[in-house]
């Protein structure tokens, strides 16, 4: 109950950080999509350009149903766009900033884990 109330408050009253307004619900929505290793691998693959599902499957060595599931989630969260061309479906990153954010997160994770003394 308390979490739901807090979530509603945050939705109505975004926090300001460095003069940038952050709506936690929106950030959490996108962050959840990034919280899966296969989705991150797919995003990394798509930094090289538009690709079909079969090419992603081949490059990453994952099953077609698994790739389709994760691509559906990435589409749902607006991180990728979809283009149909005949029987083929192509995916590409919706915004070039996604790759930059992942690079920043990688650097942060590396630094934090390097300084970790306990779990």
Six-digit token string for 59: 């490059």
Q: What is the pLDDT of residue 118?
A: 79
Percent of the chain with pLDDT over 90: 72
> Model confidence at 8, in pLDDT bands (50, 70, 90)?
low
Is the pLDDT at 117 greater than 80? The verdict is yes
| Domains with residue ranges and CATH for the chain | 1-35 (no CATH), 37-119 (1.10.10.10)
Q: What is the pLDDT of residue 64?
A: 96
Residue written as tokens 């994770």? 109
> Model confidence at 23, in pLDDT bands (50, 70, 90)?
confident
Residues 29-78 have pLDDT tens digits of 999 999 999 999 999 999 999 999 999 999 999 999 999 999 999 999 99
For the chain, what is the mean pLDDT?
87
Instruction: Give the residue among 77, 79, 82 at the shortest CA–CA distance from 101.
Output: 79
Q: What is the mean pLDDT of residues 76-82?
A: 97
Greatest Cα pair distance, the chain, in angstroms, is 54
Instruction: Give the residue among 21, 11, 30 at the shortest CA–CA distance from 95.
Output: 30
């Amino acid at each position: 109950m308390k979490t739901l109330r807090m979530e509603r408050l945050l939705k109505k009253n975004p926090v300001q950080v460095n003069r940038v307004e952050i709506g936690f619900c929106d950030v959490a929505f996108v962050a959840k999509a990034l919280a899966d290793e296969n989705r991150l691998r797919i995003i990394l693959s798509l930094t090289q350009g538009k690709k079909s599902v079969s090419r992603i499957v081949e490059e990453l060595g994952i099953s077609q149903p698994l790739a389709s599931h994760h691509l559906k989630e990435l589409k749902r969260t607006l991180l990728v766009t979809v283009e149909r061309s005949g029987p083929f479906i192509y995916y590409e990153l919706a915004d070039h900033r996604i790759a930059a954010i992942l690079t920043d997160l990688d650097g942060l994770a590396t630094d934090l884990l390097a300084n970790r003394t306990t779990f």
